[in-house]
Amino acid sequence: MKLDIPNRQRWLLIIAGAGIVLLILNQVVFSPLGNAWDEHSAEIARLRTSVAEGRSLIARGPHLQQSWAQMRSQTLPHDPAESEHDLIAGFESWSRTAGVELGSVKPRWKHGGSDDCSLLECGLDATGTMGGLSRFLYELEKAPMALHVESAELLSRDDAGQKITLNLIVTGLRLSPLEGKQ
């Protein structure tokens, strides 16, 4: 059985068949290739950014190593007793400089964020004027020790507000693990 299709219809069938083949190719070949191309382009852009950041890090390497060495030198000593002594001596020195009176100082050792460091947390009370307490905080912040003020609370000790008590929790970093001391 031979179909006798006029020439015009034959061309319509060829064009329709070509259109269907193009739609199938679009769905099966071209779209996946385009998606893969976009994914690869995004990956290349991400990698270029990563390489640029890496090169920048390499260029800043000596400066970063120098900064890290300086930070490491400012941590508390490895000996726990020496660390406590240095921090308490610092508090006493800063209080004399600022003209404030130290009350209680309560050191307590804690585990650090990783296994190779520990934290010396000190709660302390200082009493003085607003200017003196501000100076005390300034001295504490500019000290060459790895210290962090966790919390600060001001309380007035008289009706005029001239005598103020500062309750502080200060944490010092030591790059040594905690040796069972709590």
Per-residue pLDDT of 118-156, as tens digits, reads 899 999 999 999 999 999 999 999 988 889 999 999 988
Domain ranges in the chain? 7-59, 75-174
Beta-ladder partners of 109: 120
Which top CATH class is 75-174? Answer: alpha beta
pLDDT higher than threshold 50 for residue 99: yes
Beta-carbon contacts of 131 under 8 Å, excluding residues fewer than 6 positions away, are: none
111 Cβ contact partners less than 8 Å away, ≥ 6 residues apart: 118, 119, 178
pLDDT band at 181; cut points 50, 70, 90:
very low
Q: Exposed, middle or buried, 95 (CB in 10 Å: 0-12/13-18/19+)?
A: buried
Is 182's pLDDT higher than 50?
Answer: no
Q: pLDDT tens across 21-64, in order?
A: 989 888 888 888 889 999 999 999 999 999 999 999 999 999 98
At 5, the pLDDT band (50, 70, 90 cuts) reads low
